[in-house]
Amino acid sequence: MHPAVLLFGCFFLLLLCGVPIAASLGLAGSLTIAVAGLGIMAVPTSVYTGIAKYPLLAVPMFVLAGAIFDRSGVAARLLRFAASIIGQGRGSLAVITILVAMVIGGISGSGPACTAAVGGVMLGAMMRKGYPPSFAASVTAAAGSTDILIPPSVAFIIYSVLVPSATVPALFVAGIVPGVIACIALVVPALLLSLYHDFGSGRSQEPRPKVWQSFKEAFWALMAPVLILGGMRTGWFTPTEAAAMAVIYGLFVGFVVYRSLSLKDLGELLVESAETSAVILIVVGLASVFAWASSTMGIVDPIAKAVVSFGGGELGVMILLMLFLIVVGMFLDGISIFLIFLPLFVPVAERFSWDLVWFGVLMTYNIALGQFTPPMAVNLMVSCRLAGCSIESTIRWDAWLLLSMFAGLVLLIFFPSLAIWLPKVLGFM
């Protein structure tokens, strides 16, 4: 049996049997290594080398920072500030949800975490003003998907580990403009649907927040992304050190400024963040076994050559890859997609001389789409659970948001400078 058939066949068979993704990757890789006689000791070695990388130290720190900011009431203060500017008319709450999620993305870097944080505050508010639960859940899930584009992004860190030529600072900065494009692409259909269906026209019982007062309350939250990116730009700290600074800053805001955290909360946050980080790093470690098996047995190059020789040329290959990622994103999480398919896609990108920072942004944008594309749709699962509705009921709304955000992806494909001009200007490329 050809090694590629054994490796990928075993992996997908295990997935169909309901085996977790991490275990499927590790077992498929280990079986292939054993059958090929490459030495079973390659398995623990691959696991260790897969996670023993300096940039990965940033992952648990950013996860903890996001949890701290979520627990300290940052989302609620940002929402009040956004409401003071936008107002409380038709569609305003949907727009506020998307804008606040974009800012939260500069703190947590996790789509499901942002969806939970923003949804916990906004879903109830939207439903009280007449927004259908399915619509509110769709908007919240889509808004949370922008988090992996807005720095800091765990997805970008994983990509940088697998593609060392694309540095974490360059990827972080490259994601800003595409993140804004994604935000605009979501605001437009959310607002138009709200206006057409008269969502949010009911009078609010709460007075409109005062701009200056709400700005003062949200100031410390708004400064978090500035601290992270500004510190890296000035050379004060590396991305990994920036993650540690984000934790320190979050603790300062939670304990000193807002005084919304207690020592009991801190203990719970540490446990919660440790569990989340462990899951991510276990996936990375076991996927490293899969990647080592595919590269050692020469599986990658033939597949890359076959893709490159595709008759549609450079544009045809790009469209093929993006459509493939969208479909795969319906079933797999973003980190798993990177770990499984990057060894196949990067050689293709290099053969066409595509900028690997730009390519990383495109892949991450696709993963963002997958976070609210059924049936997997991790963000949608979170928002639907909070809103008390089914994923099936969201499709009529979700489809418009997906279509509009896909238009943003097309824009990035044809105009690569939208992603790479800012890191070049700031000296990260």
| Predicted confidence (pLDDT) per residue in 200-235, tens digit | 776 555 566 677 887 887 788 778 777 777 777 677
Q: Which two tokens stand for residue 96?
A: 């506020």
- pLDDT at position 162 is 84
Domain membership of residue 17 (yes or no) is no
DSSP secondary structure of 223-247: HHHHHHHHHHHHTSS-HHHHHHHHH
Domain that holds residue 253: 55-285+297-425
Residue 143 sits at φ, ψ, to 5 deg, of: -60, -40
Domain membership of residue 21 (yes or no) is no
Dihedral sign for Cα atoms in the order 276, 49, 155, 295: negative
Domain membership of residue 46 (yes or no) is no
Straight-line distance from the first to the last Cα atom of the chain, in angstroms, rounded to the nearest whole number: 44
- pLDDT at position 37 is 81
Domain membership of residue 330 (yes or no) is yes
How far is residue 76's CA from residue 71's CA, in Å, rounded to a whole number?
10
Count of domains forming the chain? 1
Q: Whose CA is closest to 151, among 426, 336, 414? A: 426
How far is residue 103's CA from residue 82's CA, in Å, rounded to a whole number?
11
Stretches in the chain below the pLDDT threshold 70: 1, 75, 105-111, 202-209, 233, 300-301, 310-312, 331, 333, 376
Domain membership of residue 115 (yes or no) is yes
Mapped onto helix, strand or coil, the DSSP state of residue 197 is: helix
Residues 273-314: pLDDT tens digits?
888 788 878 888 888 888 788 777 777 667 777 777 766 678
Domain membership of residue 50 (yes or no) is no
Domain membership of residue 45 (yes or no) is no
Please tell me the pTM assigned to this model.
Answer: 0.80
- pLDDT at position 208 is 66
Domain membership of residue 309 (yes or no) is yes
Residue 53 vs residues 47, 57, 96, 171, 409: alpha-carbon distances, Å: 11, 7, 38, 17, 31
Residue 18 vs residues 12, 23, 32, 149: alpha-carbon distances, Å: 10, 10, 20, 30
Q: Whose CA is closest to 130, among 184, 81, 94, 77? A: 94
- pLDDT at position 19 is 84
Neighbours of 151 (CB within 10 A): 28
